[in-house]
Amino acid sequence: MSNYDVTATDVALRSSYSSTGTSAINLPALSGTTNGRVIVVIDSANNATTNPITVVASGSDAIGGAIGEGYVINVSGSAIWLYANTETDNWEII
């Protein structure tokens, strides 16, 4: 499994790891993120059906309102757009 920690300057993340195995994209804590920040995770290897990409929230942050659960990209060539709502500690799916 390959992991990547999102940096302060990342916006669009093209994950090619699905060509070789599963991977995880670790989001930054919303407490240290600018409200309204947008992050896009894309399956650029076009193989997420075979090797899913899991987007993981930090600590008690949520993705799409679900606390403690990652968002799994499991459709080849697909992407997820996330909006940082620091008022609700939620990465909203847009």
- For residue 61, the domain's CATH number is 2.60.120.640
Q: How many domains does the chain have?
A: 1
* pLDDT value of position 20: 76
pLDDT by residue for the chain (94 residues), tens only, comes to 589 999 999 999 888 766 677 889 999 999 999 999 999 999 999 999 999 999 999 999 999 999 888 999 999 999 999 999 999 999 999 9
pTM (2 d.p.): 0.91
Q: Is the dihedral of CA 86, 73, 48, 77 positive or negative?
A: negative
57 φ/ψ angles, rounded to the nearest 5 degrees: -80, 155
How far is residue 34 from each of residues 9, 28, 31, measured CA to CA in Å? 11, 11, 8
Domain range for 62: 2-93
How far is the C-alpha of 79 from the C-alpha of 44, rounded, in Å? Answer: 9
